[in-house]
Amino acid sequence: MNRKFSHTTILALVMIGILLLMWALNGSQFLRLGNFQSMAFQLPELGILSLAMMVTMLTAGINLSIIASANLTGIVTALILTRFVTPETTGAASFAIVILAVGAGLLTSAAIGLLNGFLIANVEVSPILATLGTMTLLNGVAIVMTKGYVISGFPEAIRFIGNGQILGIPVPMIVFIACAALMALLLTRTRMGVSVYMLGSNPTACHFSGINNASVLLKTYLVSGLYSGIAAIIMMSRFNSAKADYGESYLLMTVLASVLGGTSAAGGFGKVSGLVIALVILQIISSGLNLLRVSNFLTIAIWGGILILVMVINYVSEQYQKRRTA
Amino acid sequence: MKRLLASYETFVFLVIVLLCIIITWVNPNFLTLENLFDLLKSYSFVGILAIGVLFVLISGGIDISFTAVATVAMYVMAVIIVRYGGNMLTAFLIASVIGIILGMVNAVIIYFFNIHSIITTIATLNIYYGLLTVFSGGKWIYALPTWFREFTEIRVFTLTNANGIEYGLSIITVIWFALLALAWLILRYTMIGRGIYAMGGNPTSARRVGFDVLRLQLFVYSFMGWMAGIAGVILALLVQTVAPNSIVGKELDVLAAVILGGASLTGGVGSLWGTMLGVALIAIMGNGLTMMRVPAFWYNVFIGLTIVISVSANAYRHKRKKKRAIAVEIE
């Protein structure tokens, strides 16, 4: 047994432990198909946003603007939909408008990603400052565009993205799995992915090994922006509305999920698989406690507790292994 | 003189002066003592929190949990004074003790388990806030004692405006300024203050030189907690209701003010003067937009633009300086 316990192993053990605990507390009710389906509807929003956060954390950065960017994307899409789709619009035309609206939304989120990337890569603003600024700015633009009101009432086609099912699997879940798989491929199988990890562990070494740091950073924030845009489409379709201040509590949760999943805040380390397990842990806790009719706020407190617990276990096992090898 | 002109603080100060000129030009009511005292009173809450955040940033850490600490301190203080009575001193004392304890919890976790401060405080933010909301049931407290209400009305001196309405320097502003003076003394004239800068600049060298990093960490985070506790009481005094959800979510706003004031997130840099300029910039912008009758929903656009432009200008200056330094080396 010379192999050391990896973070993912610890996480997987914690997940099984919590799953068993929730099963014991809730009985057979917890294992019903319906319960898993409702979990599969709730997890993707936070999941995709967490992917958007995680990729920037790998480069030792952070993207505080993901929620604001998601809301602005949602609003752009919603405004196009409500402006052009009238009750008389036929199926095919309404479908075309949905495609156009979603396209415009994703374009917005990509532009936001490029703005963040430009500030961080080219102007060399520290990521936390740049995205703190764009977060406030984007939120402001969203408020100005909507005057603070809710935009709602979308055609059927868009509601399918958030609420539909294919072969019993919720569409948001399918989108999430696709996003996670793509991100994993990008990080492990491409030149850019390797550069992201190198840049995160040591930017100077990365620069001297012939990598264009600025271009890697720009692409990282572009991907982050696009992912927040995808999350936005799912969010607006699930709520059937868009507003400037939806999901603000998600922001710190995405950092929490990433870190719980083994992404280092100092950059350079973290895997998509770890993040996915972390998201499942958070979702099991929240659904399990919900079945027990425990207050949402206790769930939040327990999430915080789990984060510290996992970090402490990590630390202790690291110290233990250090002592054994020494 | 040249250094003064080149400093970031001077740049922020000039922006503020420019802003004041524009606002006064549109609405002369802006540059009156009455409005000034009003601003100094209503922004004392942010101002006090900013002092604590500055300490943590100088030490090289970050604290996100201060809004939750302020909420817990404010709520527990309100419950106790409503149930058992007391006076202003006990109110501040209760909130201070709670703030310091919660801050110390942060420091202990960060130091002993070597967990990054941003992760620790995101976790404790959720724990403190979640538990408070569970135990309080989310209930608001309205029926605060009369002495608590009357304290807000105390002024150090009172003036009367043209319409016969009284105004003056509020005791709340005085508390803020007293804390500022204390913080200035600590940073400038004590071993602890020098230690905080040293630790933020380079923790390893600070340890080698002989600073006790654990004690410094404990001090910095409990000082942040203390400021949060007092800010909690100040907010309760200002709005005269205590709600469990009134502060959490504002952590990044305060952080933005401190950063606008030139504090660095990598530690070792930052001044009280700059921080207060940052708070002033946010305050004047908010108040000025109202004074110029700009609809309220434009507020965040302007604040956001200000942050983006000022941090970009600062970063660009650093970049050019770095390039020049390299060029000199080559020669």
Question: With an 8 Å Cβ cutoff, is A260 touching chain B?
Answer: no
Residue with the bigger pLDDT between B102 and B151: it is: B102
**CB within 8 A of B168, min separation 6: which ones?**
B37, B155, B156, B157, B158, B159
Q: Is residue A19 part of a domain?
A: no
Confidence of residue B2 (pLDDT cuts 50, 70, 90): low
Cα(A238)–Cα(B321) distance, integer angstroms: 49
Q: Is residue A244 part of a domain?
A: yes
Which residues does chain A have with pLDDT short of 70?
Answer: 1-5, 86-91, 326
Indicate whether B50 pLDDT > 90. yes
Which amino acid does the sequence have at A100?
L
Cα(A112)–Cα(A50) distance, integer angstroms: 17
Query: Phi and psi of A124, rounded to 5°?
Result: 65, 40
**B-chain residues near A123 (CB < 8 A):** 312, 315-316, 319
Token pair recorded at residue A259: 């870190």
* Least CB–CB distance from A144: residue in B256, B298, B303: B298
Give which of B212, B190, B304, B233 is closest to B90, Cα–Cα: B233
Each residue's pLDDT tens digit, B262-286: 777 777 788 888 899 999 988 888 8
Each residue's pLDDT tens digit, B28-40: 888 888 888 888 8
Question: With an 8 Å Cβ cutoff, is A309 touching chain B?
Answer: no
Each residue's pLDDT tens digit, B183-203: 999 998 998 999 999 988 888
- A256 with B126: Cβ contact below 8 A: yes
Indicate whether B331 pLDDT > 70. no
First CA to last CA distance, chain B: 28
Confidence of residue B301 (pLDDT cuts 50, 70, 90): confident
Question: With an 8 Å Cβ cutoff, is A129 touching chain B?
Answer: yes
Indicate whether B118 pLDDT > 50. yes
Q: Is residue A324 part of a domain?
A: no
Q: What is the mean pLDDT of residues B107-118?
A: 89
Query: What pLDDT, on the 0 to 100 scale, is given for residue A64?
Result: 87
Q: Is residue A25 part of a domain?
A: no
In which domain, by residue range, is A303 found?
7-11+34-318
Residue with the bigger pLDDT between A248 and B44: it is: B44
Query: What pLDDT, on the 0 to 100 scale, is given for residue B66?
Result: 94
Q: Is residue A122 part of a domain?
A: yes
Q: Find the range with the poorest average confidence among A150-159, B170-179, B253-262.
A: A150-159
The DSSP call for residue B254 is H
Which amino acid does the sequence have at A97?
I
Percentage of chain B beyond pLDDT 70 is 96
Count the domains in chain A. Answer: 1
Each residue's pLDDT tens digit, B200-217: 888 888 888 888 888 999
Query: What pLDDT, on the 0 to 100 scale, is given for residue B328?
Result: 59
Q: CATH number, domain at A74?
A: 1.10.3470
State the count of interchain CB pairs (< 8 A) between A and B. 144
Query: Phi and psi of B325, rounded to 5°?
Result: -60, -40
Cα(A123)–Cα(A148) distance, integer angstroms: 32
What pTM, to 2 d.p., does this model score?
0.84
The architecture CATH gives domain B2-330: Orthogonal Bundle (1.10)
Domain ranges in chain B are: 2-330
* Least CB–CB distance from A307: residue in B119, B301, B311: B119
Q: Is residue A185 part of a domain?
A: yes
Indicate whether B5 pLDDT > 60. no
Q: Identify the closest residue of chain A to B124 by CA–CA distance.
A: A304
